Structure 1
Amino acid sequence: MAAGKRAQPAHISLARQIGVAIVTGTHAPGSVLPGEIELADRLGVSRSVIRESLRMLAAKGLVESKPKAGTRVRERADWNLLDPELLGWMLEGAPPVPFVRSLFQLRMIVEPAAAELAALGRTARQLARLGHALQEMETHGLGTDAGRAADRTFHAVILEATGNELLVSLSASIAAAVHWTTFFKYRSARPPRDPIPQHQALFEAIAQGDPAAARLATAELVEQARIDTEASIEEGQLALAPPGRANGAARE
């Protein structure tokens, strides 16, 4: 474990392990998970840890437990897909392109409009926080934890600057989407295009109080992120495909 990082509590680590297995299809909707005693023996943890993990997963809509029936994986339509942790689990591996497109459609609906409002209503303190986040992104780069943390802050402050409490309530979900799609892009062998210029243009539009320019800069930023993320997913799929299939896909 890296110095300075604390190990997660056992129930959180286990919830993540089971949650990833569910969202990646290892435990399909409708299937019944092993019982508490079997899970505790298999994983070497106490039953109380198992119960707490399952409670976390139930709160995210992934499972439901009933007496004598056990714990069943719920249908995908019941999952809380905007839960920040669940978004992270969905994007940890090789997320399906349709899900990623849906995520970017949500961002395209929400963020350009939020940037317009932010350009009209941001405070001096919010602008200073945006400027600091942008500086941190430029200093560290988005391929680092520090750079991605600054990126999350940048987008969260824009939603905060709208003054709309419903939009602000989406900030954790939007920040998670920004973080995990950026992490995924920079994990690929081919680095994505540098998005800092689009962030700079967005900051300048908000600083100048120009809502139309803020909307346009945000739309361009989100669209570039979508294209680069989908390219990274396709690259990963080709890398995992058998040689003959990968060559055939390349010729299509």
Structure 2
Amino acid sequence: MSASPVQARPGRRKAGKERLHGSIAHQLGVEIVSGRHQPGDILTNEIEFSERLQVSRSAYREAVRILAAKGLVESRPRVGTRVTEMNRWNLLDPDVLAWFFEAEPARALVEGLFELRMIVEPAAAALAAERRTGPQIEAMREALQTMERAGLKTEAGQSADRDFHQLVLDATGNAPLVSLASTIGAGVRWTTFYKGRKHKLPPDPMPEHWAVFDAIAAGDAGGARKAMDVLVANSRAQAAEALEDR
């Protein structure tokens, strides 16, 4: 039996509430990572905030819970919601990374992302060369073909780029490494966006990507490690140029 309009309304209201508290969390998150709210600051209480933005107090409380789960704030009775020190923030959370890049990321964060990628991705490529399956190879090939066809200036090309890097991690068969896929993917996305905003993207990023693919497909662990090292190092150099020019 199909749901009646009355039965369907709670689902729509729930979706609307989720979008609302997500929007509030996004606004506050950007304000925190940009430094508008410093560690130790007490955020506006829920009554003042809800009245100012004309939103419900429950939406504000849910947004604060989202920020607390990511380590950006902590709430205490009779004290309020306090911004925490940066060393408590979950910098590997894709939302937190997105907020940083929206707010203009600090040099240290961008360089830190590339250091993480330099540590993780070459080793992951080597493991992928030893453990990849036939379907994984085909999925990587399709991702690169889409990236090549669409280009990195398009959302489709950027999405394919992220897919390729995630597929490399998936092919390691190592669950802890695979858990980093969303972080690596967010790092690839936002550093590509940042480079593109400041500079023309490299005219042909594909040879480096195909070199990684070819080595993984051939089962050449050493070659895959070296090829990925070159790919990430070149991307890091391009991001450094963008940082110098801002």
TM-score higher than 0.5: yes
The alpha carbon displacement at 1:94 in A equals: 2.1
8 A Cα contact 2:33 2:103, kept in partner = no
The corresponding residue for 2:74 is 64
The corresponding residue for 1:229 is 239
Q: Which amino acid aligns with 1:173?
A: T
The alpha carbon displacement at 1:95 in A equals: 1.1
The corresponding residue for 1:248 is none
Q: How far apart are the structure 2 equivalents of 1:92 and 1:65?
A: 25
Q: Which amino acid aligns with 1:191?
A: K
The corresponding residue for 2:200 is 191
Give structure 1 stretches of 5+ with no counterpart.
Answer: 1-5, 237-252
The alpha carbon displacement at 1:68 in A equals: 1.0
Give structure 2 stretches of 5+ with no counterpart.
Answer: 1-14
The alpha carbon displacement at 1:101 in A equals: 1.0
Please show how residues 23-172 of structure 1 align to structure 2 within 5 Å: 23-172=33-182
The alpha carbon displacement at 1:195 in A equals: 2.1
What's the secondary structure of 2:68's corresponding residue?
Answer: helix
Q: Which amino acid aligns with 1:121?
A: R
What's the secondary structure of 1:9's corresponding residue?
Answer: helix
Q: Which amino acid aligns with 1:44?
A: Q
- Runs of 4+ in structure 1 off by over 3 angstroms are none
Q: How far apart are the structure 1 equivalents of 2:138 and 2:103?
A: 35
For residues 13-69 of structure 1, what are the alpha-carbon distances to aligned partners after superposition, in whole Å with 9 as ceiling and x for unaligned? 111110011011000011000000111111221111101110000000000011110
Quote the RMSD (CA, aligned, Å): 1.4
For residues 115-147 of structure 1, what are the alpha-carbon distances to aligned partners after superposition, in whole Å with 9 as ceiling and x for unaligned? 000011100010011001001101111111111
Q: Which amino acid aligns with 2:152?
A: L
What is the percentage of aligned positions where both structures have the same residue?
52
8 A Cα contact 1:92 1:184, kept in partner = no
For residues 159-195 of structure 1, what are the alpha-carbon distances to aligned partners after superposition, in whole Å with 9 as ceiling and x for unaligned? 010011010011111111111111111112x213232
Q: How far apart are the structure 2 equivalents of 1:10 and 1:23?
A: 20
Do residues 14 (structure 1) and 20 (structure 2) align? Answer: no
Q: How far apart are the structure 1 equivalents of 2:241 and 2:28?
A: 28
Q: Which amino acid aligns with 2:31?
A: A
Q: How far apart are the structure 1 equivalents of 2:236 and 2:164?
A: 18
Q: How far apart are the structure 2 equivalents of 1:174 and 1:69?
A: 37
8 A Cα contact 1:94 1:233, kept in partner = no
Q: Which amino acid aligns with 2:158?
A: R
TM-score for both structures, normalised by structure 2: 0.90
The alpha carbon displacement at 1:92 in A equals: 2.1
Q: How far apart are the structure 2 equivalents of 1:127 and 1:74?
A: 43
Q: How far apart are the structure 1 equivalents of 2:224 and 2:103?
A: 33
Q: Which amino acid aligns with 2:85?
A: E
